[in-house]
Structure 1
């Protein structure tokens, strides 16, 4: 799907606040609410817009740690791990990556003991490295037009 300048303006509005009305978006980008609605529907149908989500603060619901864990899978263990990782409640994002490691996961944990127990589950699949997240520098930055 071709994304013209108007579609990019609509996408910017949605990325900043997906709960604003089509009328409000229309006022910001200079078109009618039905025109905004039609364009949004077309972008949803083309999978340009993939979903609308609610971001929950893990710390406000009781988690004390957020970490990035990389896994370098043992020979023959990558495929079993790719299935197993889908069952872990702690994992909020998981990527298969290039380089020395195969996987990087973003996880939320109750405390250090929870982290230790979680790593114990992972080490049967491969070598792990863990980094504790201290703070966000950029959080859910918007996707911008290609230059």
Structure 2
């Protein structure tokens, strides 16, 4: 990973649909050179995928929450398999500390949240935090830290 690859990644994180020629103009490379570098980063696994970020509130899902789970003894493994089937869970991380899991969930309303919590409490103790707003939105996931 050199400085040009980092610059390309930063442009793609801002807009994954940007053309290679536009990226090239911004980082000082030709379109074919950018395409080749992107292909190599895809092939090596540096770039895993391209995603669409939804405005969930405009799709009828008005509530976003962060839920932590402290799994009951012997229930973590079962939870790790089951959580993959919960469509409400958009991000789920296994973490250190008092809780085992932290999840970001998108829900229609409080009733939907209650139903999800009812499922989760069979695996452990939960704590729910309602998201009021984004403080940092669409920040680059990676940057050159050198």
1:16 CA displacement? 1.0
Alpha-carbon shift at residue 27 of structure 1 (Å): 1.1
Structure-2 residue corresponding to 1:146: 145
Distance 1:26 1:83 in 2: 43
| Residue 116 (structure 1) aligned with residue 114 (structure 2) | yes
Unaligned runs of 5+ in 1: none
Deviation per CA, 1:58-117: give whole Å up to 9, x if none: 101001110000000000000000001001111010000000000000001111111111
Give the TM-score normalised by structure 2.
Answer: 0.96
2:37 matches 1:39:
yes
SS of residue paired to 2:87: coil
- Cα distance per residue 1:20-46 (max 9 Å; x no partner): 111111111111111000000011111
**Which of 117, 131, 134 is residue 133 of structure 1 equivalent to?**
131
In the alignment, the residues of structure 2 paired with residue 31 and residue 109 of structure 1 have an alpha-carbon distance, to the nearest angstrom, of 43
Question: Whole-Å Cα distance in 1 between the matches of residues 126 and 107 of structure 2?
Answer: 16
The alignment partner of 1:106 has SS state of strand
CA distance in 2, matches of 1:114, 1:5: 46
- 1:55 counterpart (30, 36, 53): 53
Q: Distance in 1 between matches of 2:115 and 2:27?
A: 50
Q: Which runs of 5+ in 2 are unaligned?
A: none
Instruction: Trace 1:88-107 onto structure 2 (pairs within 5 A).
Output: 88-107=86-105
SS in 2 for 1:141: coil
Q: Secondary structure of the equivalent of 1:34? A: helix
CA RMSD of aligned residues (A): 0.8
Q: TM-score, normalised by structure 1?
A: 0.96
Where in structure 1 do 4 or more consecutive aligned residues deviate above 6 Å? Answer: none
In the alignment, the residues of structure 1 paired with residue 47 and residue 95 of structure 2 have an alpha-carbon distance, to the nearest angstrom, of 24
- 1:140: Cα distance to partner? 3.0
CA distance in 1, matches of 2:90, 2:100: 17
